[in-house]
Structure 1
Amino acid sequence: MGYTVNRLNAHTKGFTLIEILIAMLLLSMVMFIGSLSFSTFSQQWQKDMGTFTEEVANAKNLVLLQKAINGIANYIVKDTDDDPAYFFKGNDKYLVFITNKPVFSVGQQALVRLSVAVNQDGSQQLVYEESPFDRNPLLRIDELPQSRFMQVLLTDEQIRFNYYGWQDQQQRSAYYEGEPTSPKWISEYFGENSGMLPYAINITWGNNEPIIFPVPNDNAYQIMYTSEKSTDA
């Protein structure tokens, strides 16, 4: 009987202090590793979601920009010499045109300005500005209305424009006369010099592949423009 009691006491003996401390240490290590892993995963998730959200916003803005560019109008104004001139002005950091499909002023014509603004950290923003013609139409190339709407389309590095078309009327005339010349990608394009709109606009930023937006052209306007220039001459 005494042997049985002693055996039960041996089986009901608890953990020693050292065993408890070792168990707590192991549990703390597991909790620390789990917490660190969750924190790393959470930060990466937030970063990925932020990047995804930014890319979705950029894609949406580029669709709106494509709409405005597809609606570019063959708009003729008077230049500083009172001669008819195609309204389209662009260089690698600045672009101005008239569109029939503006982003904000739906159902109206509007003047659109696209410009590259530099932030304090060195990054760049592609800024969209719009001036609807609900008050006064644009009649002269040197009397541009003030912008009434503005939106940042994207933020990145090295945002720039290029244009595919004729640099001037002489090159275009030489092509139609059979000379070996052709449209080129150029960093500046002025409708008053070429007598027509460019065939395409290229927008590039960062390390992305360039996005090319075709520009519709109306030959009827080109004929009218050419005939008016010939009459003036």
Structure 2
Amino acid sequence: VFGISINAFVIYCILFRTKYSLGAYKYLQLIYILLGILNINAQVLIGEAIRASERDLYVRSLNVALEKVVIAGFLSLWSNYHLVIDYNFLYRLWVFKTPHRIRLFSTGWFILLLILVFIAFFMTWGATALWCFTPTDNGRVKIRNVLERKYGLDSMKQPMIMADFFQADGSWNVRMEVGMIIISSIFIFMAYAAANIVEFLRNTKLKSANSLRLQRQLFVLLCAQV
């Protein structure tokens, strides 16, 4: 409820309380916030539970009847939620680095490209979750007692997505590493864009103090959303 309330308040501020024209960035923010609300509701509906230990991280559903493909779909939604943050970072980066490219966010072919990337990443991450994060027998055994004691579920039968960092013999789980590399690409771009934006904010030649203040506020808000 708190998360939905905060997102609803931000939508209100963007639509009705913003004094400056944000251009297409306003719509990127709205899409991101709406995806956030959808993601929050999906967490509630599937009964998401996450447990981390020094050897594994797993995401599963408290709904016994829920198929693993549905859980993978939830993870795809979560990853695309962060992909839209990348779109926002790209916009803010171009504001400083290549301002003439900002108009692309209002052109049909570029919007279509962003949509296609969104769909492709959703499908890629869903397939990755199913193939790279397949529960191992070793991992299921490790969490069996906790799952049974806390939720009354049998880890050997419960549909789940699992990131088990090590095999039973102690070797690295290569599949899991591939999956982590794919999802890490989202956050690597965020870090790259953020570092460049900070550099531009330090050395910007903006004459208007109000414009500089606005750019800083938008960047801080974007970082807080991560």
Band the TM-score falls in, shorter-chain normalisation: under 0.3
More helix, by proportion: 2
Q: Which has the higher contact order (CA 8 A, sep 6+)?
A: 2
More strand, by proportion: 1
TM-score, reference length from structure 1 = 0.25
